Structures are given as structure tokens and as C-alpha cells.
């Protein structure tokens, strides 16, 4: 398998696809294509001519099969290796985890717009809009409920690292970059995600990247 990702510093959807690939336990070749550079154009055309790939990252190739979109990649990999590697076994917990992942995938536009992922950066004194504050409060509420009801087995949302953590890892990065004040339980969760060995590997690569995308640097 090969996984095409964008800049590790900026590409939040790539981080999700990459963590999903790691969580699968399968081996994969990782190809980083810097967003909006020369290779980016050819990536957008290189869909094998058969698939309506979106031209966005991440993209997973498994032999002839192409899977684009982070949530499809996670589910494709869960189909291959077994659902339990990604999702809680308990129906009630799994229902919530699936809802949280779907909500992350479809929502929080204000947070995404005002706080784009930028792992290397730290921003002082951000004043989020009311919409962005609403997104932050909603996420903290979901984290609190997952941790309180289902988190007893470990430091992650549903105890052990899983799909929900894969999807909220870029939010951990955003809250860190923009220094969003969070309650203690959330700080502990964020620390657990930040210190996870896969996350540390991604952060190190992001720090080593030299590409700078100005439009993401001027926010905040
Ligand atoms: N819904 C898609 C979103 C993918 C996406 O927007 N990726 C961004 C990078 S984080 C991208 O490729 N942006 C370039 C563009 O919009 O042309 C997913 O979940 O994978």
C-alpha cells in the first residue's frame, strides 16, 4: 500500500489518514507531496484515469484500489484488519465514537478556518469568534463525555487509542498552536495524544519540513 499525504505541518486530513494507516498495523509506503507545489498538479491528475479522486490528500493506494478521503481510508483499513482495532467493542461506546468521528469530518468550520493546523507555530492572544468558541466548547464537551463514560481503560477518548483519537489528533494540535485554554481533563488527554509515539514521529517530520504556506501562517 502507499499513502499520499500533504505537508505534515499543515495537512490535518493527511494526519488523520496517516494515523489510520498506522493504527491498521499494515505496512505502507508514505509519499509526501507538498501542497500547491509542482508535484501537486500531477497528483491531481494522477488518479489512474478510473477513479473520481478529489485531488486532495490523503489518498491511499492498495494495489489497483484507490481510496481517497480520510474517513473512507480509515473504514477501508478497518474492513481489512477488523473493526475492533479502530472502534470500541461496546455498542454504546462505538455509537458515540462513530458519531464523534462523523461530526469531526463534517463540522467545526469556524475552528478550521480560524485555527488552521500549523504544528510548528504558537500563537499568543487569539480571540476566537463566537462560532469558533462554540466549536471549541462542543469538542471539549464531547471529549469530557467520552473520557468520563468510556475512557477508563487508558488515557484516550475511549480508553485505548482508536478512530476517535485519530480524528481529533489535529484538534489537539490546533488547541496547542493557538493556546486554547482547556480544563485539566482535556489537557491530560491532549498530552497523551501529543506524546503518542506516532504523533511524535509526525511532529518531528513537521518540524523538519522547510515548506512554508503563507496563507496558513498569516492566520491567528
Ligand atoms: N474530506 C477530505 C478533505 C481532504 C482535504 O481537504 N485535504 C486538504 C489537505 S488537509 C487538501 O488536499 N487541500 C488541498 C486543496 O483543497 O486543493 C478528507 O477527509 O480527506
Q: Are both 151 and 45 inside the same structural domain?
A: no
Residues of the chain with pLDDT under 50: 50
DSSP 150: H
Dist CA 203 CA 194 (whole Å):
9
Domain-embedded: residue 178: yes
DSSP 217: H
Residue nearest to atom 14 of ligand 1 (CA): 56
Q: Are both 24 and 130 inside the same structural domain?
A: no
Residue nearest to atom 16 of ligand 1 (CA): 56
Q: Are both 70 and 105 inside the same structural domain?
A: no
Dist CA 198 CA 28 (whole Å):
14
| Predicted local distance difference test score (pLDDT) of residue 167 | 98
Q: Which atom of ligand 1 is nearest to the CA of 71?
A: 19
Domain boundary among 83, 106, 139: 83
Residue nearest to atom 20 of ligand 1 (CA): 69
Dist CA 37 CA 20 (whole Å):
25
Residue nearest to atom 2 of ligand 1 (CA): 69
Pocket of ligand 1 (CB under 6 A): 6, 11-14, 35, 56-58, 69-71
Q: Are both 41 and 95 inside the same structural domain?
A: no
Task: Give the up-direction half-sphere exposure of residue 22: CA atoms within 13 A in the CB hemisphere.
Answer: 18
Q: Are both 151 and 126 inside the same structural domain?
A: yes
Residue 146 belongs to domain spanning: 88-203
Which pLDDT tens digit goes with each residue over 53-89?
Answer: 678 999 999 999 999 999 999 999 999 999 999 999 9
Residue whose grid cell is 462542543: 138
Number of domains in the chain: 2
| Predicted local distance difference test score (pLDDT) of residue 186 | 98
Q: Are both 192 and 96 inside the same structural domain?
A: yes
| Predicted local distance difference test score (pLDDT) of residue 218 | 83
Q: Which atom of ligand 1 is nearest to the CA of 73?
A: 20
Q: Are both 49 and 149 inside the same structural domain?
A: no
pTM of the model: 0.95
Domain-embedded: residue 215: no
Cα(108) to ligand 1 centroid in Å equals 15
Q: Are both 126 and 62 inside the same structural domain?
A: no
Amino acid at each position: 500500500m502507499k499513502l499520499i499525504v500533504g505537508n505534515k505541518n499543515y495537512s490535518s486530513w493527511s494526519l488523520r489518514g496517516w494515523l489510520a494507516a498506522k493504527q491498521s498495523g499494515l505496512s505502507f509506503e508514505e509519499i509526501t507531496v507538498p501542497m500547491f507545489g509542482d508535484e501537486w498538479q500531477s497528483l491531481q491528475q494522477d488518479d489512474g484515469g478510473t477513479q473520481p479522486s478529489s485531488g486532495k490528500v490523503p489518498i491511499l493506494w492498495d494495489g489497483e484500489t484507490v481510496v481517497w478521503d480520510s474517513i473512507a481510508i480509515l473504514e477501508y483499513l478497518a474492513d481489512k484488519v477488523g473493526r475492533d482495532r479502530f472502534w470500541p467493542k461496546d455498542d454504546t461506546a462505538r455509537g458515540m465514537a462513530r458519531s464523534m468521528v462523523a461530526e469531526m469530518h463534517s463540522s467545526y468550520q469556524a475552528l478550521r478556518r480560524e485555527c488552521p493546523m500549523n504544528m510548528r507555530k504558537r500563537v499568543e492572544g487569539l480571540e476566537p469568534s463566537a462560532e469558533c468558541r462554540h466549536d471549541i466548547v462542543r469538542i471539549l464537551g464531547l471529549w469530557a463525555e467520552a473520557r468520563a463514560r468510556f475512557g477508563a481503560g487508558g488515557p484516550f477518548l475511549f480508553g485505548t487509542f482508536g478512530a476517535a483519537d485519530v480524528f481529533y489528533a489535529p484538534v489537539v494540535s490546533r488547541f496547542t498552536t493557538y493556546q486554547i485554554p482547556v480544563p485539566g481533563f482535556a489537557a491530560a488527554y491532549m498530552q497523551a495524544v501529543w506524546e503518542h509515539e506516532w504523533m511524535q514521529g509526525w511532529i518531528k517530520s513537521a518540524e523538519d519540513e522547510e515548506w512554508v504556506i503563507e496563507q496558513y501562517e498569516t492566520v491567528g
